[in-house]
A and B are shown apart, each in its own frame.
Chain A
């Protein structure tokens, strides 16, 4: 069936390096995508979102890229810090109802000091 999936379940990066977390989606009709960050013992927190009419969106140290041709989403974190260690989820909104919000399996990011 259709799903939102992450290519890498774990990612380790050196502090100060840039991180790239990837996400594949399969529903070409999806028009809204969100990245969430979940730290240990907490619920997911919103990081950044992007609509399908955009290719790129930047936030503070984070950038989301959307490639609709290959149905691929990525989250780039600049100058990764220890506080960035967490599990990152992409979410695909396939429709207006809340059961259409599909989360990927998550990528665990570990920052090496």
Chain B
């Protein structure tokens, strides 16, 4: 079974631009969660999608958005980039039946640098 695939691996953008990141979950997994990872804040939850619907959302501004397609692939978008958005963005997939019963399968992440 193929693992979670994230593209691109690296991105360099300038302030004010927007960016779209992609995540393909493990086949059969319907839940996709997104995390921001920084040295100072660790792993912070952005949002989770299941069956094309956002089920949960973390404490991030509205500049961070996402969507999920019918094949469970997910994208996240960050608009009006700020320097503080520089981070490793990770997506994780799981079957989607509930966090208390499932472990997360992570992709290798997209390293975003905002200049």
| Candidates B43, B101, B108; contact of A89 at CB < 8 Å | B43
**A96 to B80 CA separation, bound complex (whole angstroms):** 33
Interface residues of B in 65-115 (CB under 8 A from A): 90, 92, 94, 98-101, 103-109
Give the chain A neighbours of B57 by CB distance below 8 A. Answer: 99
Residues of B within 8 A of A101 (CB): 33, 45, 99, 104
Inter-chain contact B4/A96, CB cutoff 8 Å: no
Question: How many A-B residue contacts, CB cutoff 8 Å?
Answer: 66
The tally of residues in A whose CB lies under 8 Å from a CB in B reads 25
Interface of A: prevailing SS: mixed
CB neighbours (8 Å) of B53 from chain A are none
Interface check A113, CB cutoff 8 A: no
Across the interface, do B48 and A99 meet the contact criterion of CB distance under 8 Å?
yes
Q: Mark B28-70, 1 if CB is under 8 A from A, else 0.
A: 0001010000000011010010000001111000000000000
B100 proximity list for chain A (CB < 8 A): 31-32, 93, 95-96
Q: Is the CB of B108 within 8 A of A42?
A: yes
Chain B binding surface, main DSSP class: strand
Query: In the assembly, what is the distance between CA of A97 and CA of B96, in Å?
Result: 9
Interface pair A106/B42, CB less than 8 Å apart: yes
B99, A95: Cβ atoms closer than 8 Å: yes
Across-interface contacts of A98 in B (CB, < 8 A) = 31, 33, 45, 48, 55-56, 94, 99
Residues of B within 8 A of A103 (CB): 42-43
CB-contact partner of A46 in B6, B31, B105, under 8 A: B105
A41 on interface, CB distance cutoff 8 Å: yes
- Contact assessment for A104 and B99 in the assembled complex, using a CB-CB cutoff below 8 Å: no
**Chain A residues with Cβ under 8 A from B48's Cβ?**
97-99
Can you list 11 A-B contacts (CB < 8 A)? Answer: A43-B90, A43-B106, A44-B43, A89-B42, A91-B104, A97-B56, A97-B98, A98-B99, A99-B48, A101-B33, A105-B42
A residues apposed to B, CB below 8 Å:
31-32, 34, 36, 41-46, 49, 89, 91, 93, 95-101, 103-106
